[in-house]
Amino acid sequence: MTRLLIIFARNPELGKTKTRLAKTLGDETALAIYYKLINKVQEVTADLPIDKAVYYSSFIDKEDSWDNNKYQKYLQKGATLGEKMYYAIEESITNGYQQVVLIGTDIYTLSAEIIMKSFDLLNVNDTVLGPAEDGGYYLIGMKRPEPSIFGLKEWSHSEVFSQTVELIKNQGMSYGTTQALSDIDEPNDLKGTDLEALI
């Protein structure tokens, strides 16, 4: 079984990352938090027994902290977030991967166990979702690409997870879910984590 973990990552540029945090905390603090988030994802994923790929938002960086020996590197393509996720998953499955799971870099509590569980859920489901506590999702996995699942008109609202579930059901596809986790988008999301020390 060939498995690929896709990590969507923004290139860490001042003023262009964690913009909702930056409105309150300033660009420099927001960027520092983003570096911490990247480091956490690297700690969690580096030694997973699966293939891994980073999809960058702006440009492919061969000299950054993502180990070139452990992570394939690609550029996101598409206009909307949905298109970008679909194209990355579709490209990976076309290249021969049988199970593909995509995550972002906003979930500080994401663990290796949750990631591997998501792949195991694909053994018995067509898709898998990791619900975020704000109503979105932090993880999506598939065995075959289905563009309609990524066809939401808006992506920053509290119904993203539930609407995506309906799109999956409309295709007659089954889905499994991992545990709900909180993403880091607002200053309140930092409470209870060691990221709080940065503010």
Band of the pLDDT at 181, cuts 50, 70, 90?
very high
Residue 20's pLDDT is: 85
C-alpha span between 86 and 148 (Å, rounded): 9
Left if phi > 0, otherwise alpha if psi is -120 to 50, otherwise beta: which for 22? alpha
Percentage, residues of the chain above pLDDT 70? 99
Percentage, residues of the chain above pLDDT 90? 76
Mean pLDDT of the chain: 93
C-alpha span between 40 and 126 (Å, rounded): 29
Paired strand residues for 102: 6, 140
Q: Return the domain boundaries, the chain.
A: 3-193
Residue 1's pLDDT is: 66
CA atoms within 13 A on the CB side of 183: 21
Strand (E) or helix (H) holding 103 = strand 99-103
- Which tens digits make up the pLDDT trace of 27-63? 898 899 999 999 999 999 999 999 999 999 999 999 9
Residues in the chain: 199
Q: Select from 3.30.420.40, 3.20.10.10, 3.40.50.1980, 3.90.550.10 the CATH code of 3-193.
A: 3.90.550.10
Paired strand residues for 128: 141, 176
C-alpha span between 44 and 175 (Å, rounded): 24
User: Edge to edge, what strands does the sheet with 99-103 contain?
Assistant: 72-75, 51-56, 3-9, 99-103, 137-142, 127-131, 175-177
Residue 187's pLDDT is: 79
User: In terms of DSSP H, where are the helices of the chain?
Assistant: 19-25, 27-45, 81-94, 112-121, 160-170
- Of 194 and 179, the one with more pLDDT: 179
